[in-house]
A and B are shown apart, each in its own frame.
Chain A
Amino acid sequence: MLPLIARVAAVAALAACCLAAPALANDMAPDLLVKNVTLEVMDIIRSDKDIQAGERKKVISLIEAKVLPHFNFNAMTAGAVARHWEKATPEQRARLIEEFRTLLVRTYASSIAAYKDQKFDFRPLRAKPTDTDLTVTVRVMQSGAQPVQLEYDMEKRPGGWKVWDVRVAGISLVANYRTEFDNQVREAGIEGLIKTLRTKNQSLERATVAGAERK
C-alpha cells in the first residue's frame, strides 16, 4: 500500500516538475528577468575579448540571442507608428517591424557599450502579484551625477513577460519615434517610412563593416 502511494507521489512529483519547468521560465518574475538578462549580458560584454576589441557584430548577435526574445517588437512598432498602424497592410507591418527591430538592436548595442563600466541598482518591483502590466526600474549609478533611470514597461503575455517600451531618463523610446514616424508617413506614406528606415539601417550596416575593415 505504502510503496504504491509513494510511487504515485513520485510520478506526480515528476510530472509536476516536468510541467512546471517550462512554466517557470515563462513565469519568471519580471524584475528578476530584467536583472538576470542585464547581468548576464553585461558579464559577457565585460569578459568577451572580441567585444572588448570593438567587434560590433558580436554585440549585436549577443543582443539578438539574449535580449530580443524578451521584447515585443510588434507592440513597440505599432506604438511608434501609432495612428498610421491601422492603415498599414499586414505585409507592410511585417517590414516595419523588421526594420525598426534592426534599428533598435543597433542602438541598444551602442548603449550597452556606453554603460559597460557602470554599476546597476535593480529597484524592488512595485506591483501586485496579479498585475499583468507593470514597470521594472533599473538605475545606472555614475560618479558625480544623478543616476540614470531605465524603465522597462512590461506586459505579461503567453510566452512570458515582454517589454513593450523602454524609458531612459524619462524618455520613452516608442514615444520619441512617434513624431519622426508621423512626419515620414505624412511626407511619403507608409512605404516612405519603410524606405527611410531601410536606408538608415543600410548606412549603419556599411559603417559597421567599414569600421571592422579599418581594424
Chain B
Amino acid sequence: MTSANDRTAGTGWRAGLRPLVLAALIALCAGCATNGGGDPRDPAEGFNRAMYAFNEGFDRAIGKPVATAYRDVLPDPVRDVVRNFFANIADLFIGVNNLLQGKPLDAATDWTRFAINTLLGVFGIFDFASEMGLEKHDEDFGQTFGRWGLPDGAYLVWPFVGSSSVRDTAGLILDFNLDPVVAHRPKGVRSFMVVTRALGKRADLLDAGRILEEAALDKYVFQRDAYLQRRRNQVYDGAPPRAESEAPREVSAQRGVPHSALRLIEEPAFHDAATASPHGG
C-alpha cells in the first residue's frame, strides 16, 4: 500500500518535473547560443546565465513564496529547532572534512558538538554546544579539495543548486552521496526532510535575497563574484592569504587611487559636492 502510494507520488513528482527539465534544456541551448565570452573565471557564462534565469523563475514561482510562508507561519524558536536539527547532522561530515584538511582539533570539536547536541540537545534541536563555547564550523568537500590545492575551475550554475564551480561540483557530488539525510529511509521521510531542510535554508536567505536585489546592478555578476569571494574565504577558514590572489594587486592599486582622488575632491567638500548640482563645483 505504502509502496504503491510512493510509486504514484513518485510518478506525479516526476511528471511535475518534466516541464522543468524541458525548460532547463531549452534554456541551456539558448544559453550556449548567446555565450559571449568575457570574464576568464566564467567561460560558460551563456549557459550559467540561462541556468540562473531558470533558477530565478523557479524561485519566484515556488521557492520564495513557500519560504516566505514557512517563515511567516512558524515562530522563530520552531525554525531554530529545524535549523539546529539539520546543522547537528551536518556536523558529522564537517568533522570528517576538517580531519581531511589536517585539522584534527577542529574535527574533535565538531564531533564533540555532535555528541553534546544529540544527547543533551535532544537529537540536535538545541545547540547547547555553541553556548558552551564549542563553535560551529562550516566545511564541505569542495572546501577540502580547495585546501588540497585544487583551484575553483570554471564558475558554474546548476538548476536548483545555484552557484558552483567545477571543483565545488565535484565536492557537491560527494557531499550529496554521503549526506545522512539523503541516505535516510523510508523515502517518504527522506523527501520530507530534504524539502524541509531546503525550505529552512531558503527562508534563512530571504533577507539576503532582498539585500542582493537592492544592492546589485547585475544580479548574476554580483552573485557570481560574491560566491567566488566567499568560497575562497571558506577554503582558508576566514583568513585567505592576500598575496596569492588577484585582489591585492588591485587593492594596492586601488589604495593608491583614493589619495590622488582625495586631492581632487577634498573630504570636507565632498558633502557639498554630493548635494550641489553637477556644475556647481
A residues contacting B by CB (< 8 A) are 72-75, 78-79, 82-83, 85-86, 90-91, 93-95, 97-98, 101, 103, 106-107, 110-111, 113-114, 141, 143-147, 149, 157, 159, 164, 169-172, 174-181, 183-184, 196-197, 200, 204
| Chain A minimum-CB-distance residue to B136 | A146
In the complex, what residues of B have CB within 8 A of residue A79's CB? 251, 254-255, 257-258
Q: Are A73 and B270 in contact (CB under 8 A)?
A: yes
| Chain B minimum-CB-distance residue to A173 | B215
| Chain B positions 214 through 233: 1 when the CB is less than 8 Å from some CB of chain A, otherwise 0 | 11111001100110011011
CA distance A103 to B232 in the complex (A): 26
Which of A145, A157, A170 lies at the interface centre, i.e. has the most chain B CB atoms within 10 A of its CB? A170
Q: Are B270 and A180 in contact (CB under 8 A)?
A: no
In the A-B complex, list the 7 residue pairs whose CB atoms are closest, starting with the nearest. Answer: A170-B233, A75-B258, A114-B207, A79-B254, A144-B83, A94-B273, A144-B87
B243 close to chain A: CB less than 8 A: no
Which of B254, B262, B267 lies at the interface centre, i.e. has the most chain A CB atoms within 10 A of its CB? B254
Partner of B222 from A78, A95, A159, A180 at Cβ < 8 Å:
A180
In the complex, what residues of A have CB within 8 A of residue B15's CB? none
Give 9 pairs: A residue, B residue, CB < 8 Å, sorted on A.
Answer: A85-B257, A91-B281, A144-B84, A146-B135, A169-B233, A175-B225, A178-B250, A179-B39, A180-B217
Q: Are A143 and B80 in contact (CB under 8 A)?
A: yes
Partner of B230 from A93, A107, A111, A169 at Cβ < 8 Å:
A169
| Chain B positions 253 through 281: 1 when the CB is less than 8 Å from some CB of chain A, otherwise 0 | 11101100110110100100110001101
Q: Are B215 and A103 in contact (CB under 8 A)?
A: yes
In the complex, what residues of A have CB within 8 A of residue B130's CB? 141, 143
- Distance in angstroms from A91 CB to nearest chain B CB is 6
In residues 17-42 of chain B, which contact A (Cβ within 8 Å)? 38-39
Secondary structure call for the A interface: helix
Are A93 and B265 CB-contacts (below 8 A) given A146-B138, A176-B225? yes
In the complex, what residues of A have CB within 8 A of residue B257's CB? 75, 78-79, 82, 85-86
Partner of B211 from A74, A97, A107, A196 at Cβ < 8 Å:
A107
In the complex, what residues of A have CB within 8 A of residue B273's CB? 94, 97-98
- Distance in angstroms from A35 CB to nearest chain B CB is 20
Q: Are A74 and B267 in contact (CB under 8 A)?
A: yes
Q: Are A176 and B229 in contact (CB under 8 A)?
A: yes
- Distance in angstroms from B96 CB to nearest chain A CB is 17
Which of B255, B261, B267 lies at the interface centre, i.e. has the most chain A CB atoms within 10 A of its CB? B261
Are A90 and B136 CB-contacts (below 8 A) given A110-B210, A200-B217? no
In the complex, what residues of A have CB within 8 A of residue B253's CB? 82-83
Q: Are B217 and A196 in contact (CB under 8 A)?
A: yes
CA distance A47 to B86 in the complex (A): 33
| Chain B minimum-CB-distance residue to A117 | B76
CA distance A179 to B230 in the complex (A): 16
Are A170 and B83 CB-contacts (below 8 A) given A74-B267, A79-B254, A103-B215? no
In the complex, what residues of A have CB within 8 A of residue B218's CB? 180, 183
In the complex, what residues of B have CB within 8 A of residue A146's CB? 135-138
CA distance A79 to B259 in the complex (A): 11
CA distance A177 to B208 in the complex (A): 16
| Chain A minimum-CB-distance residue to B215 | A107
- Distance in angstroms from B274 CB to nearest chain A CB is 4
Given A79-B251, A93-B265, A114-B208; 9 other pairs, CB 8 A cutoff: A72-B267, A74-B258, A78-B254, A78-B258, A79-B255, A83-B253, A93-B261, A94-B273, A175-B225
Are A176 and B136 CB-contacts (below 8 A) given A79-B251, A144-B127? no
Q: Are B238 and A149 in contact (CB under 8 A)?
A: yes
| Chain B positions 100 through 137: 1 when the CB is less than 8 Å from some CB of chain A, otherwise 0 | 00000000000000000000000000010010000111
Q: Are A110 and B207 in contact (CB under 8 A)?
A: yes
Are A110 and B214 CB-contacts (below 8 A) given A91-B281, A144-B83? yes
In the complex, what residues of B have CB within 8 A of residue A170's CB? 229-230, 232-234, 238, 240
CA distance A159 to B267 in the complex (A): 9
Q: Are B80 and A144 in contact (CB under 8 A)?
A: yes
- Distance in angstroms from A185 CB to nearest chain B CB is 11
